[in-house]
Amino acid sequence: MLSRTRTPGRPTGNRSAGIRVRGRVALASAATAVAALLAGTLSATPSHAEDQSACRPDGLYATPGVDVPYCSVYDAAGREKMGVDHQRRVIGYFTGWRTGKDGTPAYLAPDIPWDKVTHLNYAFAHVGADDRISVGADGANNPATGMTWPGVPGADMDPALPYKGHFNLLKTYKKRHPQVKTLISVGGWAETGGYIDENGKRVDSGGFYKTATNADGSVNQTGIDTFADSAVAFVKTYGFNGVDIDYEYPTSMKDAGHPKDWALANARRGGLNKGYAALLKTLREKLDRAGATDGKHYLLSVAAPSSGYLLRGMETYRSTQYLDYVNVMSYDLHGAWNEFVGPNAVLYDDGKDAELAKWGVYTAGQYGGIGYLNGDWAYHYFRGALPPGRVNLGLPYYTRGWKNVTGGTDGLWGTAKSSSCPAGSGLTTCGDGAVGIDNLWHDKDDDGKESPAGSNPMWHAKNLEKGVVGDYAPAYGFPAGTKLTGTYARRYDATLTAPWLWNAEKKVFLSTEDEQSVKAKAQYVVDKGLGGTMIWELAGDYGWNAGKGQYEPGSTLTTALYDAFRTAPGYGARRATTDLPSQAIDLGVDVTGFPLGDSNYPINPKIHLINNTKTTIPGGAELQFDYATSAPGNAKDQSGWGLKVIRSDHPGTGNVGGLKGDYHRVSAKLPASQPLAPGASADIDFVYYLPTSTPSNWTVSFGGRTYALAGDLARGTTVVDPGGPTPTPTGTPTGTPTGTPTATPTATPTGTPTGGTCTAPAWDREAAYNGGATVSWKSRSWKAKWWTRGEEPGTTGPWGVWQDQGSC
């Protein structure tokens, strides 16, 4: 049933399709400076900040053996530092193809509201046939590195830089606005599995599908290493602060992503998740090593789908641990790829979504009545694995729309079906997408014809609402003097938090975004503690030109976000909503064994446990964990572990107006006859009914104690072995969700007594310690910079793991 809520071949969650202006040039290789860096001819000065681990965000993977300079980006609470007037992220995608060279309005670096944004993602680089990152061959027509704009105010090139184009301007403006971070975004809808060459032709090179995953579904580590090395060199060469991966999509669902990629991607579906995880882990580690050398932390993010269909095939999105934050593409939730007329970027479900209703989502009991085509649901999916501050809500500065709409209320939840679909779309039936003056930003199909999508920048939509044909119309093929037919009446649904334009005469529905909806979504971000917002794309924002009496590209919506966030409290930096123990053990957990694609329903993976400690975990030991309320609270097991939901932050059914809380908490007990010896493993057959991200906030209770798990990567925990000498906790564990009393260990550490007035536990050669853990040793206090085991304090040198805190 779940698989039917999207038309095969055009799943929701596609950011880029239908909104790329004609004449876009995306190119093949910018290799000269990158090759020089790879060869070692460029260098950076190392910097070693103190106690970097104290700034690591909660749950972020720490590359072993690397002193990552987290404090260059994060504060002592693990929150990103963005400036006193930027309490939340405002991430804008800046695209390379709106150059103005084709006569349409340009959007260049001088047009960016630099004082209103916190991050800029340049879209797009791609993966070349050689597995390396690329923006094309250097030359005067390369927008990224070669193009110039003589006579355009503010677009003067810095002659000191060895490249021109957008990258020259970005670096120039960053000098004036050093708080703004820039990332190179790789991939996108059209360039995940190939790239567009300098002639505007697509090259089916395989892209991420080939680079990360071999033909047999195994991980292509050679390709991944090549790409990651080139990406690190690239950010150094052009002065970026990190990498944003826009891989659309590493899901096991058949026919997801660009139709031109299906032949290659479908054959690899079973291994795409593993390849994606390996790609992000490798990037994280290589960026961390480069950052340790350069004295600055490099960011790694992804553009993630919001569609429940796509996320179902991405298993539990295990790769979130490697990311500084996730940019959720909480738009393209409805569009002309099918006939169901609804908002592009609805924030909440209203229980009336025609697409969901058709497939029984509201009435089939196993779904809990939860509508999953909305931003709130998508946020809660990722909230299961991440603190709120590592999730950003996506906002579209463009429209989606249909013509010949029937039914619904002013078109909302009506239908508009067509049997004539764009060539190359892979569809046999689709929606009757709006065209002409209602489709200003449109792609062309494989036959060179307009792709009906109702895709417009918001400044054009505002002119339609006002009854104005802007003076830019001739540049898009509409003769001077073009008149509008009918009236575009603005409508707004407060339950959905969604505006739209309804032309009753033409039966045209255009889903929009404006100040009312953006302010409401900004308040949602503040109230829920999210990290901020992500914008696709900045060029769609609007401003009013009183002299011309028309809307033009501007910064109205971005300014509204800035104003909403500048005095907001800091974002939510902690993943758990209840107190967890301060001591953790190395009981490994993985969620694996997902059936492929459409066979994966109900969602039925295995929770694989492996005991990496030196102690047998006895039968009857209780495991608890949280999973996101994006799935209903009816999870169960088929393994005899007695798995049950013991607490729900969203009790009941349905999610009209939003999910009430973040987690369902689950309890399961190791069968009495199945103790888990050191090195042994066991599986729980886990069953749930809507997608949820990686379970988190684990505890295990036995022997009168409750422990966290090391794999949660939580801040402030010390890894211990439960059976050996256990260091005294640095603070009494602040919560034992199982209700088991916390006991003080009585065993004496094997290490030499420290004597004196040392209050921290003695260092134990057999214990594992996370970054930030404090021990005493030989009458001195020591703090670990990163995870360690068996390294004696005082022997690791000034740049080693143990930082001397002085005598005690």
Position 339 in a domain? no
pLDDT value at residue 805: 86
Q: Is residue 294 within a helix (H) or strand (E), and if so which, with residue range? A: helix 269-294
Q: Which has more pLDDT, 57 or 13? A: 57
729 pLDDT above the threshold of 50: no
pLDDT value at residue 127: 98
Based on the fold, state whether residues 603 and 560 are members of the same structural domain. no
The residues, ordered by sequence, that sit 6+ positions from 517 with a Cβ below 8 Å of its Cβ are: 347, 492, 497, 498, 499
What's the distance, CA 436 to chain centroid?
34
For residue 173, give the CATH number of its domain: 3.20.20.80
How far is the CA of 399 from the CAs of 271, 372, 433, 457, 593, in angstroms? Answer: 35, 21, 12, 7, 39
At how many degrees (to 10) do helices 515-528 and 375-383 cross? 20
Beta strand 718-719 with 583-585: parallel, antiparallel or unpaired? parallel
pLDDT value at residue 797: 64
Q: Helices in 472-605 by DSSP H: which ranges?
A: 515-528, 556-565
Q: Are 440 and 460 in contact (CB under 8 A)?
A: yes
Residues facing residue 500 across a β-bridge: 491, 511
Q: Which of 512, 527, 545 is the last residue of a domain?
A: 512
Residues 20-29: tens digit of each pLDDT? 332 323 323 3
Cis peptide before 124 (omega within 30 of 0): yes
pLDDT value at residue 272: 98
Q: Which of 565, 595, 628 is the last residue of a domain?
A: 565
DSSP 663: E
Residues 439-464: tens digit of each pLDDT? 999 989 988 999 999 999 999 999 99
pLDDT value at residue 746: 32
How far is the CA of 780 from the CAs of 177, 718, 783, 802, 806, in angstroms? Answer: 44, 19, 10, 11, 6
Q: Are 726 and 744 in contact (CB under 8 A)?
A: no
Based on the fold, state whether residues 145 and 264 are members of the same structural domain. yes
pLDDT value at residue 786: 72
Based on the fold, state whether residues 385 and 443 are members of the same structural domain. no
How far is the CA of 210 from the CAs of 29, 207, 218, 263, 640, in angstroms? Answer: 18, 6, 11, 12, 41
Tokens read off for 375: 């931003």
Q: Which of 710, 728, 747 is the last residue of a domain?
A: 747
- Largest Cα separation within the chain, whole Å, is 90
Q: Are 371 and 351 in contact (CB under 8 A)?
A: yes
Residues in the chain: 808
Q: Are 623 and 710 in contact (CB under 8 A)?
A: no
162 pLDDT above the threshold of 80: yes
30 pLDDT above the threshold of 80: no
Residues facing residue 676 across a β-bridge: 617
pLDDT value at residue 798: 59
Based on the fold, state whether residues 247 and 384 are members of the same structural domain. yes
| DSSP track, 652-685 | SS--BT--S-SEEEEEEE--TT--B-TT-EEEEE
Would you place residue 806 in the very low, low, confident or very high pLDDT band (cuts 50, 70, 90)?
Answer: confident
Based on the fold, state whether residues 662 and 640 are members of the same structural domain. yes
Position 778 in a domain? no
Write a three-state SS string for 332-401. CCCCCCCCECCCCCCCCECCCCHHHHHCCCCCCHHHCCCCCCCHHHHHHHHHCCCCHHHEEEEEECECEE
Position 618 in a domain? yes
Burial status of residue 133 (CB atoms within 10 A of its CB: 0-12, 13-18, 19 or more): buried
Position 352 in a domain? no
pLDDT value at residue 485: 98
pLDDT value at residue 482: 95
Based on the fold, state whether residues 528 and 487 are members of the same structural domain. no
Burial status of residue 519 (CB atoms within 10 A of its CB: 0-12, 13-18, 19 or more): middle
Tokens read off for 729: 């906790």
Mean pLDDT, the chain, rounded, equals 89
Looking at residue 459, its amino acid is: W
Identify the three-state secondary structure at position 321. Answer: helix
Q: Are 184 and 234 in contact (CB under 8 A)?
A: yes
> What is the number of structural domains in the chain?
3
Would you place residue 624 in the very low, low, confident or very high pLDDT band (cuts 50, 70, 90)?
Answer: very high
18 pLDDT above the threshold of 80: no
At how many degrees (to 10) do helices 269-294 and 221-238 cross? 40
Based on the fold, state whether residues 32 and 167 are members of the same structural domain. yes
Would you place residue 40 in the very low, low, confident or very high pLDDT band (cuts 50, 70, 90)?
Answer: very low
Pairwise CA distance, residues 409 & 524, whole Å:
26
Share of the chain above pLDDT 70, in %: 89
Q: Are 52 and 274 in contact (CB under 8 A)?
A: no
499 pLDDT above the threshold of 90: yes
For residue 639, give the CATH number of its domain: 2.60.40.290
Position 575 in a domain? no
Residues 90-103: tens digit of each pLDDT? 999 999 999 999 99
Based on the fold, state whether residues 155 and 274 are members of the same structural domain. yes
Position 709 in a domain? yes
341 pLDDT above the threshold of 80: yes
19 pLDDT above the threshold of 60: no
Q: Are 384 and 663 in contact (CB under 8 A)?
A: yes
For residue 420, give the CATH number of its domain: 3.10.50.10
Position 454 in a domain? yes
242 pLDDT above the threshold of 80: yes
Tokens 């829920």 label which residue? 528
Based on the fold, state whether residues 108 and 142 are members of the same structural domain. yes
pLDDT value at residue 202: 92
Looking at residue 55, its amino acid is: C
Based on the fold, state whether residues 496 and 544 are members of the same structural domain. no
The predicted model gives 392-397 an average pLDDT of 98
Position 767 in a domain? no
Looking at residue 324, its amino acid is: D
Looking at residue 621, its amino acid is: A
- Could you list the residue range(s) of the whole structural domain that residue 289 is in? 2-36+66-333+374-397+516-565
Q: Is residue 227 within a helix (H) or strand (E), and if so which, with residue range? A: helix 221-238
Based on the fold, state whether residues 190 and 280 are members of the same structural domain. yes
* CA-only gyration radius of the chain, Å: 27
DSSP 332: -
Residues 245-268: tens digit of each pLDDT? 999 999 999 999 999 999 999 999
Based on the fold, state whether residues 214 and 159 are members of the same structural domain. yes
pTM: 0.86
pLDDT value at residue 97: 97
Cis peptide before 602 (omega within 30 of 0): yes
DSSP 55: G
